[in-house]
Amino acid sequence: MQLTKKLTLASQSKIRAAVLEGAGLDFEVQVSGVDEDALKAAHHGAADALALALAAAKAQAVAAEGLLIGADQILECDGKLYDKPRDMDEARHNLSLFRGKTHYLVGGVVLVEGGETVWAHGGRVALTMRDFSDAFLDAYLAAAGERVLSSVGCYQLEGLGAHLFSAIDGDYFSILGLPLLPLLDGLRTHGGLIA
């Protein structure tokens, strides 16, 4: 699709880049280098506000002309927030905690222009994991491998992760970490795409 401004994705997420590519957008990628752990430690509000704050910090930390896209996603289960697992043991532990429960992927995406946030969108998706056996969990982790470490929920819904779930309520693109339809509207509103 025809862009009217330069577009930069402030994220190293390959899936977010793939979503934008799939929508036919021409963009550059610049990783912000923001210390997410420090921002999370300093935040004392709701997960929704944290996701938007992290998304904005990423985009504002990148020096580029045009519109910058910042995005972040947090997993919330039983009132606790989870980060990407550090290793396979933590992935197994987290999946054991999530099974049989509904968790929420809380996401935020922003557009930044000239160092200022000009558009923001937040949302949440409810995902219910089935109550799978330990044997299934072992088989899943063996098959998925270290790819699970790149996801806050230890899964890629577009792949083997689909086997973990019994129900999903929400936008597919938001699960992937980039709510595409609202983002496209934001780009049209702020002159990034022809309306």
The answer to the question of residue 1 being in a domain is: no
* Closest by CA position to 68, among listed 156, 195, 194, 187: 187
CA 181 to chain centre: 14
pLDDT at 116: 93
Range of the domain at 185: 7-189
The answer to the question of residue 99 being in a domain is: yes
pLDDT at 1: 66
The answer to the question of residue 123 being in a domain is: yes
Q: Would you tell me how many other CB atoms lie within 10 Å of the CB of residue 71? A: 25
pLDDT at 155: 95
Spell out the residues 6+ positions from residue 145 whose beta carbon is closer than 8 angstroms to its own.
Answer: none
Spell out the residues 6+ positions from residue 154 whose beta carbon is closer than 8 angstroms to its own.
Answer: 85, 91, 94, 95, 98, 148, 161
Q: What is the C-alpha to C-alpha distance for residues 58 and 11, in angstroms, rounded to an integer?
A: 8
Q: Are strands 116-129 and 102-113 parallel, antiparallel or unpaired?
A: antiparallel
The answer to the question of residue 195 being in a domain is: no
- How many structural domains are present in the chain? 1
Q: What is the C-alpha to C-alpha distance for residues 151 and 141, in angstroms, rounded to an integer?
A: 13
8 A C-beta contact, residue 191 and residue 183: no
pLDDT at 63: 79
pLDDT digits (tens, 9 = 90+) for 4-23: 789 999 998 899 999 999 99
The answer to the question of residue 182 being in a domain is: yes
8 A C-beta contact, residue 101 and residue 78: yes
The answer to the question of residue 171 being in a domain is: yes
* Closest by CA position to 64, among listed 114, 14, 106, 21: 114
Active site residues: 72
pLDDT at 64: 83
User: Model's pTM, two decimal places?
Assistant: 0.90
8 A C-beta contact, residue 68 and residue 113: yes
Q: Is 35 exposed, middle or buried (0-12, 13-18, 19+ CB in 10 A)?
A: exposed
8 A C-beta contact, residue 73 and residue 155: no
**Looking only at Cα atoms, what is the longest distance across the chain?**
52
| Residue stretches of the chain with pLDDT short of 50 | none
CATH of the domain at 151: 3.90.950.10
pLDDT at 145: 96
